Structure 1
């Protein structure tokens, strides 16, 4: 049995009408298809031999580019990389490549395996990105909702070395309207497909693993988001700010679903924050290369 109050706090489908939800999800796909049409890149790359999951690379050029690894949401059980490329053309115009990532979906895929897969995707970018127009020293990750949680699992320490990665492989991060402490979900409707107990939820919670320096982050949430998502975003920002540079961004006039689309619009605060973060990495990268 789920807890009714927890269900209210975390059931963001109830924060928008069914018609608006369907409209926004359709817009994810339509705008993604439009954004990548004619854009230079590589598609249908198997990044993980074990799971046979794929990624796409968009917005490449003749010189290695910083890369934004975009991770889709869908409460870990829906959507795909094809819904998550809408920012690719806007970022291409800024000299930034985009990688969109698929992962196995719950309940068929346990959450531990989903986390392993997105980490494997980052490992692919680091080890093979240079052959696909990507700069492995300028990797930024981001995603919305479940993708925000998965972004958090890429920010924390402790997973990089077994994959042959430096501790700072992720240089910047933008979790958007994510969940960072999964323990409340054990008593929620979402556990129907997650099947978590408290111990597993604790082990999969970035908020509880944020115990050392990590990447620069912009931690964002919609001001019309669900109460649980707003609270968790603030808590994660406060925990991350104890040891790493980060900014809390509450985006006005946005809900849990349409906030993500702001990354496709260069006039929005969210897009500008991402570009500034990546440009800052580029400046530091250029300065480091100039040292004798």
Structure 2
């Protein structure tokens, strides 16, 4: 069965949809597990190369599965390219504001804010990794926040974690230039502020999960990001999924999904995911910086 069903099938309804801001796309879907809690939280950020036509609905399938397993899920919608205020800086401002809004949600819901993990797919993987890194921004930096909600870890799924590299290889038909409003040479500070690779070491535990046959965001980007993070002292590892493409990582019916669940559990509760034939921890290449990416994207 193709994993594309997640994009084509309505997801289970969330327990509540709540606004974290005044703009139409500043809201999130909250799902709460059974039991009194407090429950660990997974902030879920959907992908779609930051474009307006892709929304949070398809992420509801994985949210429902994680909630069934005991995690509260807070699936964020945000302004995207094509929306008023989307792109730089609004998209990043929204996911930051939506994540910090958990402090408000915790006043009425049994959420354990000491165990919050950010998980995102593709462009959402970029945003999840950036959320883990934003505490490294300093006063005077664009997007600086004095008290960002601390994260227990981040799980980028096929994440676009290196924006200059994604620009150079025209991932998403060149959307990075539109998203940030320029090229790395014309708006270098935006790339330094928005790209997780430029903010390494992130300073929070990370598990990157990536399909070995992904031809949308090639696995080499995650491999090199992981290698560089380790060189800089980060707690970071990569789980590669043999034979998997771009969408198995968000398909709760796919055999690879178990590795995503293990990654989340390992960050929430500690410990490393087991290495198995499907989704084993990949050996890292010695070279970190390369001239090209594998695959036609």
Taking a change above 3 Å as real, the CA distance of residues 211 and 278 of structure 1, as seen in their structure-2 partners, is: closer
Taking a change above 3 Å as real, the CA distance of residues 26 and 184 of structure 1, as seen in their structure-2 partners, is: same
Aligned to 2:159: 178
Q: SS of the residue aligned with 1:272?
A: helix
Q: Over residues 71-127 of structure 1, what are the superposed CA-to-partner deviations in whole Å (9 max), with x where a residue is unaligned?
A: 000011032222112123332333211111101111431232111110111100134
Query: What does 1:1-292 correspond to in 2, within 5 Å?
Result: 24-28=3-7, 30=9, 32-33=11-12, 36=13, 41-43=15-17, 45-49=18-22, 53-60=26-33, 61-77=35-51, 78-108=53-83, 109-156=86-133, 157-159=135-137, 162=145, 164-165=147-148, 169-187=150-168, 188=170, 189-191=173-175, 193-194=178-179, 195-198=181-184, 199=188, 200-211=190-201, 214-226=203-215, 229-241=218-230, 242-262=232-252, 268-280=258-270
Runs of 5+ in structure 1 lacking a partner?
1-19, 282-292
Taking a change above 3 Å as real, the CA distance of residues 263 and 153 of structure 1, as seen in their structure-2 partners, is: farther
Q: Over residues 198-249 of structure 1, what are the superposed CA-to-partner deviations in whole Å (9 max), with x where a residue is unaligned?
A: 113333211011135x221111111111385312101221233232322210
* Contact 1:57 1:97 survives alignment (8 Å): yes
Which structure shows the bigger proportion of residues in helix conformation?
A: 1
Taking a change above 3 Å as real, the CA distance of residues 135 and 178 of structure 1, as seen in their structure-2 partners, is: same
Distance in 2 between the 1:190 and 1:264 partners? Answer: 30
Distance in 2 between the 1:262 and 1:27 partners? Answer: 9
Q: SS of the residue aligned with 1:87?
A: helix
Tell me the C-alpha RMSD between the 2 structures: 2.8
Q: SS of the residue aligned with 1:141?
A: strand
Q: SS of the residue aligned with 2:97?
A: helix
Distance in 2 between the 1:197 and 1:247 partners? Answer: 30
* Contact 1:262 1:271 survives alignment (8 Å): no
* Contact 1:266 1:272 survives alignment (8 Å): no
Q: SS of the residue aligned with 1:174?
A: strand
Taking a change above 3 Å as real, the CA distance of residues 222 and 74 of structure 1, as seen in their structure-2 partners, is: same
Distance in 1 between the 2:220 and 2:129 partners? Answer: 15
* Contact 1:29 1:82 survives alignment (8 Å): no
Q: SS of the residue aligned with 1:139?
A: strand
Tell which has more relative contact order, 1 or 2 (C-alpha 8 A, sep 6+): 1
Q: CA deviation at 1:59?
A: 2.3
